[in-house]
A and B are shown apart, each in its own frame.
Chain A
Amino acid sequence: MAEAAMAERRPDRTRGGRHDEFWAFCDQGELRVQSCAACGRLSWPVVDECEHCGSPELSWARMSGRGKVVSWCSFEYDYYKGTLPLPYDTILVELDEGPMFVSNPKGFGFRDIEIGMPVKLAFLACEDDGGPFQLPVFERA
Chain B
Amino acid sequence: MSGYAAAKMPPALRELSGRAAIVGLGETDYDVDYKAARAKAPGYEFPTPESLARTAFERALADSGLKRDDIDGVSVSFLYGGPSAQETADLLGLKPRWGVETSGIMAGPLPAACAAIAAGECDTVAMIYAVASRAIGRKYGGKTFDGGGAPLSYYYHHPWGWSSQAAHWAFVWSHYQSVYGATEADLGAVAMQLRENAMVTPGAIMRTPLTIEAYLASRYVVRPLHLFDLCLVNDGGVCLIVRRADKAAGLPHRPVVVSGWGESKVKGDKLDTLVRKRLAPQMQDAGRQAFAMAGLSPADVGHFEGYDAATIHLISQLEGFGFAEPGGGLEAFKRGEMRVGGKTPVNTAGGMLSGSYMHGWNHVAEIVRQLRGEAGERQIAGLEASLFSLAQTDQVHPIVFTRGTQ
Contacts and interface: CB of A to CB of B under 8 A. Distances in A.
A73 B173 CA distance: 9
A10 B142 CA distance: 12
A73 to B, nearest CB: 4
Contacts of B157: 45, 90, 102
A103 interface: yes
Contact of B143 (A70, A80, A94): A80
B322 interface: no
Given A76-B222, A115-B174, A104 B160 contact: yes
A110 B223 contact: yes
A12 B158 CA distance: 6
B175 A11 contact: no
Interface in B38-88: none
B45 to A, nearest CB: 27
A133 to B, nearest CB: 8
Nearest to B164: A79
Nearest to A75: B222
Contacts of B156: 14, 45-46
Nearest to B140: A79
A77 B166 contact: yes
A13 interface: yes
A10 B223 contact: no
Contacts, number: 125
Interface in B258-311: 267-272, 275-276
Interface string B121-165: 000000000000000000101110000000011011111111110
B275 A70 contact: yes
**Interface size classification for chain A:** 35 or more
Interface in B212-244: 219-225
Contacts of B164: 77, 79
B220 A90 contact: no
A90 B170 CA distance: 10
A115 B223 contact: no
A123 B143 CA distance: 23
Given A11-B143, A100-B269, A115-B179, A92 B159 contact: no
A73 B170 contact: yes
Contacts of A41: 268
B9 interface: no
Q: Which of A73, A74, A88 has the most CB of B within 10 A?
A: A73
A49 B170 CA distance: 29
A52 B267 contact: yes
B46 to A, nearest CB: 23
B155 A70 contact: no
B208 interface: no
Contact of A45 (B143, B152, B267): B152
A24 interface: no
B233 to A, nearest CB: 13
Nearest to A135: B159
A73 B223 contact: yes
A106 to B, nearest CB: 11
A135 B158 CA distance: 11
Contacts of A96: none
Nearest to B178: A115
Contacts of B143: 11-12, 80
A76 B268 CA distance: 30
A75 to B, nearest CB: 6
Contacts of B167: 73, 75, 90
Nearest to A92: B171
B159 A13 contact: yes
B234 to A, nearest CB: 18
B162 A72 contact: no
B175 A71 contact: yes
Interface string A95-134: 0000010111000001000111000000000101000010
Contacts of B271: 92, 100, 102
Nearest to A13: B159
B160 A90 contact: yes
16 contacts: A11-B161, A12-B143, A14-B155, A14-B158, A45-B153, A70-B171, A75-B161, A76-B220, A77-B164, A88-B161, A100-B272, A102-B160, A104-B161, A115-B175, A126-B159, A135-B159
Interface of B: 139, 141-143, 152-153, 155-164, 166-167, 170-172, 174-175, 178-179, 219-225, 267-272, 275-276
Interface of A: 10-14, 41, 43, 45-47, 50-52, 70-77, 79-81, 84, 87-88, 90, 92, 94, 100, 102-104, 110, 114-116, 126, 128, 133, 135, 137
Given A14-B158, A73-B162, A92-B275, 19 more contacts: A10-B158, A12-B159, A45-B157, A50-B268, A52-B267, A70-B171, A70-B175, A73-B171, A74-B222, A75-B223, A76-B219, A76-B222, A76-B223, A77-B221, A77-B222, A79-B163, A80-B158, A80-B163, A102-B162
Closest 10 CB pairs of A and B: A73-B170, A79-B142, A115-B178, A11-B158, A51-B268, A52-B268, A74-B223, A79-B141, A71-B175, A100-B271
